[in-house]
Chains A and B, each alone.
Chain A
Amino acid sequence: MNCLLTLALPAASILPLRLAPRRWAAPALVLVALLDLLLTLLIVGDGSRMAEPTYFAGRYFVLDATSTLFLVLVNLVFFGIAVYILNRVRTDAALEEQASTMAVLALAFVACMNAAVLSNHLVLMWAFIEGTTLAAAPMVAYGERGAHRAAWRYLLYSTVSLSLSFLGLLCLAQSAHLRGVELSFFVDELPKGLAVHGDVLQRLGLSLLLFGFGSKLGLAPLYGWLPETYDFAPPSVTAMLAAIQFNASIAAVFRVFQVFRTDDVSFVAQELLVMGALSLLVAAVQIMATHNYKRLIAYACVSSSGVIAIGLAVGRTAAYGVVLYVVSNAFVKALLFLTAGRLKSIYGTKDVAALTGVIKHMPFAGLLFTVGTFALLGFPPFGSFMAEMLILSGIVQSGHLLVFTILCTMLTIIFVATGRAIFPMLWGAPTNEQRPRESVLSISPKIVFVIALVSLGVYTPEPAVRLLRLVAASIGGS
């Protein structure tokens, strides 16, 4: 079955959804998300064919291990977010108008996402990632007061960082041109056009590519857009950005690593190490200072990007850990931001000091937030714990002891600062005795995310392990 159906379905649903009555928007979004997920699972099958890539549409799109992993992840998380939107609309009819516009934009967003992860052409992939930004920016503007400014800054930062990536592509093309080679930008053909020991332009191109895509991940120094956007955007949009769009940028970084299996990777490893360490430092300081639980999770996302960058820089031994970390993080972020949205809708505040006894007042939401926080901090039995251990072990094996020390120190600071802010909010005496209703629809997608997280840490089915291993091997894993 053609994998392009996964992007054609949401794209084709945009117009009918735009014309349909408002009250149908949220249920239709869930239906399209469910169909897209089922279609993805049908195409992917048991993953046995993933070792050999299959090309579509004149080689512009590819279904290989990397695209399979991100396609499943994106559509699974998107389905969970669609169910969250449906539940919010069911509990507050005033949100129908918002949901109508947001559903259209969300479908455009997920169509671009699927296209980006399936893309076999770097320029096309760049355009689709930019497409996700352009679909997400108006959704960010639907947030609370100040969201328009945050949306504008998000668009600005994203476009600038993606423009830097584009400049990187141009430098690569120019470098090849000077050697008399024509670069096609198809991921599978690109390595043939690159020099094993790159010249200044090739190295500059690679640096700019990773700097641009890295900034889209929220890596320092261009991280400023992330906490502001995640804070002001509606929770469902924050979850889309943190758990879905983040993966498009990760897929792009993986593609770059798959192309550059030469000396140049060790050259950019230093760049990634610096960006990763800087991101951890920034996140640690900001988490200590913030009193806003949504912003706190946003800074934790910056630290996660730092861990991923360091893991990628270390390479070989940490590669499997990085892939596992990326997958776990998608579920953690979706779980936390959706639950944070629920808390904000009930309490009307994002200030941690104003909240107490959440776990008694809202047992399900409180418990899910606790579980999400533990998973975020890398506790067992979650996949993030296993992933962090693998990355740390990879760092030690590769002899980067200074990096190991920095990473452990920063993670400890983040652990203490997050716990100090979040746990008093969860435990203690509730300020309000009357319990709000928590529907099955509200908690079911989050329960699925928790099951996935535990499964990644305790028992991962063989096809999933095989897929993770293939992706890890494609980015240089041993």
Chain B
Amino acid sequence: MNAPALFLVAVVLPVFFASTRTVSVWLGVQALALAWNVAAEHGIDSVHAALSVVEILVVRGAIATRLLRHVKRPEEAVDHLLPSNLFAWILGISLTALAFEFAATTAHAQTAFALGGVGATVVMALLLLSFNTAGIAQLFALLLMENAALLFESTLPAPWSMWVHGALTCVYVLTVWVGTRLVEGQHQEPHLDLPRQVL
């Protein structure tokens, strides 16, 4: 198994089989796969590649997953990411197959699998957004999209500069931070005594 394959497994398996409680674990596995992918593609000899690996493991693997683990949600909100109905499953499987088909026709053989993985991740994210209205599931879908962008970078001949990496990392960690606060806020808002006047 190679890194993009592990990433794909960490995207597809939770969407079809996991519950919303385990999203942080799966995001952690995705971060591991992404770090492995960077190390495999660019080695860890250069400062740039080494920093990228550390950044992925620390920010995406540790900080983001920790933030997600501590989201407060209603007790009854233990549900599957994708509803267990035949239509959703057929749609998900067909779209994944289509993503790989598209990648096979538009990319060189060596990057086709990774590009297919990017496409499959994006369609899984869109599928989740269409089928699940739970905040935590939707946040997981957004993070899938941002991870897909990082996987795509591995298909480029040269990695982006540290400036761009830094900006994308900030966006990722802030999406988790702001997203978790808003997801929690939605549950707490009906019980809050909000001020009458706003700025």
Provided the pairs A94-B195, A159-B175, A177-B155 are in contact, do residues A200 and B106 lie with their beta carbons within 8 angstroms?
A: yes
CB of B167 within 8 A of CB of A127, answer yes
Give, as a whole number of angstroms, the nearest-CB distance from A113 to chain B: 14
Give, as a whole number of angstroms, the nearest-CB distance from A271 to chain B: 19
- B170 contact set on A, CB distance < 8 A: 127, 131
Q: B159-179 CB contact bits vs A (8 Å, 1 = yes)?
A: 010011001101100110011
A216 within 8 A of B: no
Closest to B185 in A: A148
Q: Taking each of A98, A134, A236, which has the highest tally of chain B beta carbons within 10 Å of its own beta carbon?
A: A134
Bound complex: CA of A156 vs CA of B138, how far in Å? 8
- A149 contact set on B, CB distance < 8 A: 186, 189
Task: Please choose the segment from A163-171, A261-269, A355-363 that sits at the chain B interface, where 4 or more of its residues have CB less than 8 A away.
Answer: A163-171
B182 within 8 A of A: yes
Q: B133-162 CB contact bits vs A (8 Å, 1 = yes)?
A: 001001000100110010010011110100
Provided the pairs A155-B179, A177-B156 are in contact, do residues A128 and B167 lie with their beta carbons within 8 angstroms?
A: yes
- A237 contact set on B, CB distance < 8 A: 199
Give, as a whole number of angstroms, the nearest-CB distance from A172 to chain B: 11
A345 within 8 A of B: yes
CB of A134 within 8 A of CB of B189, answer no
B115 within 8 A of A: yes
Closest to B182 in A: A152
Q: A170-183 CB contact bits vs B (8 Å, 1 = yes)?
A: 10011001100010
B181 within 8 A of A: yes
B118 within 8 A of A: yes
CB of A95 within 8 A of CB of B189, answer no
Bound complex: CA of A144 vs CA of B126, how far in Å? 30
A446 within 8 A of B: no
Instruction: Return the contact of A160 from the options B142, B182, B196 (Cβ within 8 A).
Output: B142
Provided the pairs A155-B178, A163-B145, A174-B106 are in contact, do residues A124 and B198 lie with their beta carbons within 8 angstroms?
A: no
- A123 contact set on B, CB distance < 8 A: 160, 164, 167-168
B194 within 8 A of A: yes
- B164 contact set on A, CB distance < 8 A: 121, 123-124, 127
CB of B199 within 8 A of CB of A236, answer yes
Interface size bucket, A side? 35 or more
Give, as a whole number of angstroms, the nearest-CB distance from B104 to chain A: 13
A138 within 8 A of B: yes
Interface size bucket, B side? 35 or more
Instruction: Return the contact of A98 from the options B138, B149, B156, B195 (Cβ within 8 A).
Output: B195
Bound complex: CA of A92 vs CA of B135, how far in Å? 34
Provided the pairs A94-B195, A345-B197 are in contact, do residues A182 and B157 lie with their beta carbons within 8 angstroms?
A: yes
Closest to B126 in A: A160
A323 within 8 A of B: no
Provided the pairs A155-B179, A163-B145 are in contact, do residues A178 and B106 lie with their beta carbons within 8 angstroms?
A: yes
B107 within 8 A of A: yes
CB of A174 within 8 A of CB of B138, answer no
B122 within 8 A of A: yes
Closest to B125 in A: A163
B68 within 8 A of A: no
Q: A131-163 CB contact bits vs B (8 Å, 1 = yes)?
A: 100100110011111111101100110011001
Closest to A101 in B: B199
B108 within 8 A of A: yes
- B160 contact set on A, CB distance < 8 A: 123
CB of A170 within 8 A of CB of B152, answer yes
Bound complex: CA of A292 vs CA of B108, how far in Å? 54
Closest to A234 in B: B198
A201 within 8 A of B: yes
Bound complex: CA of A121 vs CA of B163, how far in Å? 10
Bound complex: CA of A157 vs CA of B179, how far in Å? 12
A102 within 8 A of B: yes
A470 within 8 A of B: no
Give, as a whole number of angstroms, the nearest-CB distance from B33 to chain A: 18
- B88 contact set on A, CB distance < 8 A: none
B129 within 8 A of A: yes
A364 within 8 A of B: no
- For the complex of A and B, list the 4 residue pairs with the smallest distance between their C-beta atoms, beginning with the closest: A127-B167, A234-B198, A148-B185, A163-B145
30 A-B residue pairs with Cβ-Cβ distance under 8 Å, sorted by A, are A60-B163, A88-B199, A95-B195, A95-B198, A95-B199, A123-B160, A123-B168, A124-B167, A127-B164, A128-B167, A134-B171, A145-B189, A148-B185, A148-B186, A152-B183, A155-B175, A155-B182, A156-B138, A160-B126, A160-B142, A163-B122, A163-B142, A163-B149, A170-B118, A170-B152, A174-B155, A177-B111, A182-B157, A200-B106, A236-B199
Known A-B contacts: A88-B197, A166-B145, A200-B106. Give 19 more (CB < 8 A). Answer: A88-B199, A95-B197, A98-B199, A99-B199, A127-B167, A130-B175, A138-B181, A141-B182, A149-B189, A152-B185, A156-B129, A160-B126, A163-B149, A167-B122, A170-B152, A177-B156, A178-B108, A182-B156, A237-B199
